[in-house]
Amino acid sequence: MTATAARGVVVGALPLSRFCGGHFFFVRGGDAKRTCLAVHTTYQFSQARGKRQRLREHGLWTLDDDAYYEGRDVPGCEGFVMASPEDAPPRALLASGLYFWVPRARVSFCSLRPSPLAFNPDTPRRLRLRLTPFDSITPKSITINTPSAGVENHLAAAAWYRLAMRNLIAIGVALRRTPIMPELTCACDRYWGNVLPGCYIQGSDARPPFPRCPLDHVMNLPNMEAAGVTHREYSFLNNSRVSDTMRDPSNHAFVELNLDADARNGSVPRVAGVTTRGAHHAMRRISLDAYPTDVEWVAAAGDAKEPVLVVSSAIASFCTFKKRTDAISFDARMAKALRAESHFCRPGDGGPGSRSCEIGFEIPAGVADDADCDALRRAWDEPSGSFRGRYARMSAHKDS
């Protein structure tokens, strides 16, 4: 050893395609899973929970015991609930192309129609306050004040995912099932630095959108844990440690929410109660009206023996808890679980060092306040029906 040290130390760069950093493997993806010999959980968020979550999502975390994969780790819970893999935000929010900064108030890509519900005096005030004055999402529908199509799309898609997750968690509470998180697509990267022009990290040759982006890109996992939210990663059913019985779609139940095609955000066609992910066995179908309460969920699926319930439309899958005290308690948990903040910044117009930032992420209106289920169903029946109606605003803007 002494003789070796005397000859000096050889320093070299390991090939990134073989020894992968966290961004290359977990965000960029592509051929990384095929070429990597080792991966490091660098460039992530949510502390150690973010590292563990990323490894779980890619089947690389080996420290969970059998109870985790059998659903026995949460006392009183049996089985899982998830959104259909085909259920996703509107395609326009996830499409690539417009990932550049444009001057505020000078360039407009706005192509929106006013929402009749938002301006209709007969609409209940508490619902009207949650309806934004725009109703449709097209490849050009970017709000007039946005500095970046990519940022606006990313925050809107993150809002869709938050509403979906919130509803799956609520269903899990009602039915004593553990929610499986949806697979995410991010229209923006996430970064610790002061400036993120174009929605991607400077020097990276990866461009958005980023399919299967990690959960810590849009959620604060320590906050979810502190709120007592137990969940599973989107790839959970692909893990070889999950039993064949649980993974087999013929052993799942498909919960069909009664929505017409227009009420599905233009994201996917109406999903029949048959297989997903290429399987060829029919699932048992359970039919429910859109925006069911916890009591309606229990009546329809409380006795379901299937290990997995698959929901056709996550954002329309829950309205409220019948007992207001339960709704208020749940909202308090979600106010903590869904809270996360990220700045998406460009160089500002106020001189050197100034920034102009969009700040995410928006939390959906609470189930105690958004409790008029009939009004929510009527909103879906209108041409203006949109998940955006569940938010008072989509994002904040700050100049510094």
pLDDT over threshold 70, residue 156: yes
Rounded mean pLDDT, 208-234: 94
Tokens of 297: 């969920």
Rounded mean pLDDT, 7-30: 83
Bridge partners of residue 289, in order along the sequence: 258
The string of pLDDT tens digits covering residues 127-141 is 333 333 323 333 333
pLDDT over threshold 80, residue 335: yes
On whether residue 141 sits in a domain, the answer given is: no
How many Cα atoms within 13 Å fall on the side-chain side of residue 14? 11
Q: How many domains would you assign to the chain? A: 1
On whether residue 84 sits in a domain, the answer given is: yes
Contacts of 10 (CB under 8 A, 6+ apart): none
On whether residue 245 sits in a domain, the answer given is: yes
On whether residue 230 sits in a domain, the answer given is: yes
- Largest pairwise CA distance in the chain: 87
> Which of 39-48, 115-124, 149-158 is predicted most confidently?
39-48
Quote the domain boundaries for residue 287. Answer: 74-93+146-263+278-394
In 299-333, which positions are buried (b, 16+ CB within 10 angstroms) versus exposed (e)?
Answer: ebbeebebbbbbbbbbbbbbbbbeeeebbeebbeb
Helix (H) or strand (E) holding 91: helix 91-94
On whether residue 114 sits in a domain, the answer given is: no
Q: Looking at the whole model, is its pTM more than 0.85?
A: no
Percent of the chain with pLDDT over 70: 72
pLDDT at 15: 86
The string of pLDDT tens digits covering residues 63-114 is 999 999 998 888 888 899 999 999 998 888 886 534 333 333 322 222 222 2
Give whole-number Cα distances, 229 to 232, 237, 360, 370, in Å.
Answer: 10, 19, 21, 21
How many Cα atoms within 13 Å fall on the side-chain side of residue 332? 6
On whether residue 107 sits in a domain, the answer given is: no
On whether residue 257 sits in a domain, the answer given is: yes
